[in-house]
Structure 1
Amino acid sequence: MKIMHIDASAKKPEQSNSRMLGKFFLEQLKEQGVNFQIDYLDLTKDIQPHLTPEFVVATYKPENERTPEMKAVLTDSDAMCQRVISADTLVCAMPMYNWTIPSTFKTFIDTIIRTGVTYDLFPDGTTKGKLAGKKVLFITTRGADLRSGAFQHMDAMTPVLKAAFSFLGIDNPQFVDAQPLQFSDPESRLAALARAREELTTIAKQWATTI
């Protein structure tokens, strides 16, 4: 099995809870006897560019009509799409920044949502994602507790991840959300991380029986 493991935390590895939890999950898979290869992507080092007018024009132009310049504009996106397509599973670990996904993960999404590559666009305007069948796990860390209370309605992270990956054909991504962390007392923080590790262990056991 090939796992594309993506980190998007701006913190150093030893200071990042999302990076730690992503690593923990992979360790749990190994303990369950799952054999896998890792394609690792650190979005703080391999930052995908923002969309440009040239990119937008090129991506919607039929492949056989693209100029050499258009093909050059799409080269990095083509390569990233192929990395995603070739992966059997995606493990995406990220913190919540200002109620939503890190901007680096947004540019990653923009890079891999490609007509004719990761989704098909039909003449009647309907679409169909081409990544169906892949397992996708989102490991998120949140400073506040968004499970209930005053901040519950502030979760813009989960909807955008579900919408983007559903468009690509992933209907049932799994989520493990560690919360509350930064804006909590030490006891609540430790409890949140313990819950997340327990959930990740359970998912690792599930994957071991279905892969």
Structure 2
Amino acid sequence: MKIMHVDASAKREHSNSRALSRYFIEQLRGQGVAPEIDYLDVTVDTPAHVTEAFTIATYTPENERTPAMKATLAASDALCRRLLDADAFIFAMPMYNWSMPSSFKAFIDNIIRTNLTYVFNAQGGIDGVLTRQKTLFITSRGVDLRPGSPFASMDALTPALKAAFGFIGVANPTFVDAQPMQFSDQKSREAALERAQRELDAVAAQWATGVSTVETDQADEASLTV
């Protein structure tokens, strides 16, 4: 299983979302999965923000792009290829002011690309291309945004991620959210992390089962062709 793992917390080694993403990968390995990790830290290698030149190049047909346009799109093209090559995604981030870090928004702006991660179909509609990849979002939130909490209506992160990735084909992403973290007492923070870890344990078991099934099917097919 080739996994694209993206971290987006500015807190680096003090980050809860980073720690949870590492925890999840450890649980996968504990389940017998040997993932190939394609790692990106968008706080270090932040994708360029959209410019006028980027926009013009994106919507220019590929065969009409100038060398300068191709150069403008080169980094974005490479990011899209990394996504297309992966079997699964792990996106880990904190919630900043009710939504995503700006570095991860720049990442999204670079991977929603015409004729790469989405295409126009014969009916004039849009089809996302990233339909086969398992997708996990691991987030940390300062307050409790679960249904029924006073802040539940202020979660702009979950719908934004679902909309952006749904557009490019991710229909059923999994969310594991550690909350509340910042504005809570130590006992509540510990409980939030433990709850997130239990949820990640379950997701790791699900992913491992899927990998085992695929590997078994491939082995059966190989034996039939010998």
Q: Output the TM-score relative to the length of structure 1.
A: 0.97
Deviations 1:43-83 (A, max 9, x none): 10000111011110111111001111111110110111101
- In the alignment, the residues of structure 1 paired with residue 21 and residue 176 of structure 2 have an alpha-carbon distance, to the nearest angstrom, of 10
- In the alignment, the residues of structure 1 paired with residue 55 and residue 136 of structure 2 have an alpha-carbon distance, to the nearest angstrom, of 29
Match of 1:43 in 2: 42
Counterpart secondary structure, 2:40: strand
- AA aligned opposite 2:10: A
Please give the residue correspondences for 1:101-116 in structure 2 after superposition, counting only pairs within 5 Å. Answer: 101-116=100-115
Match of 1:3 in 2: 3
Counterpart secondary structure, 1:74: helix
- In the alignment, the residues of structure 1 paired with residue 100 and residue 182 of structure 2 have an alpha-carbon distance, to the nearest angstrom, of 16
Displacement of 1:125 after TM fit? 4.1
- In the alignment, the residues of structure 2 paired with residue 71 and residue 189 of structure 1 have an alpha-carbon distance, to the nearest angstrom, of 47
Deviations 1:92-135 (A, max 9, x none): 11000000011111000000000001100247541100110110
1:32 aligns with 2:31: yes
Structure with larger Rg? 2
- AA aligned opposite 2:175: F
Report the aligned-residue RMSD: 0.9
Counterpart secondary structure, 1:114: coil
- In the alignment, the residues of structure 1 paired with residue 166 and residue 133 of structure 2 have an alpha-carbon distance, to the nearest angstrom, of 11
Match of 2:198 in 1: 198
Match of 2:93 in 1: 94
- In the alignment, the residues of structure 2 paired with residue 85 and residue 22 of structure 1 have an alpha-carbon distance, to the nearest angstrom, of 21
- AA aligned opposite 2:11: K
- AA aligned opposite 2:89: L
Q: Which runs of 5+ in 1 are unaligned?
A: none
Percent identical pairs in the alignment equals 60
Deviations 1:9-44 (A, max 9, x none): 00021x110000000000000000012100000010
1:187 aligns with 2:190: no
Tell which deviates more after alignment, 136-145 or 116-125.
116-125
- AA aligned opposite 1:144: V
- In the alignment, the residues of structure 2 paired with residue 16 and residue 112 of structure 1 have an alpha-carbon distance, to the nearest angstrom, of 25
- AA aligned opposite 1:108: F
Tell which deviates more after alignment, 177-186 or 114-123.
114-123
Match of 2:131 in 1: 132
Match of 1:150 in 2: 150
Deviations 1:123-149 (A, max 9, x none): 754110011011000000000000132
Match of 1:81 in 2: 80
How many pairs align? 210
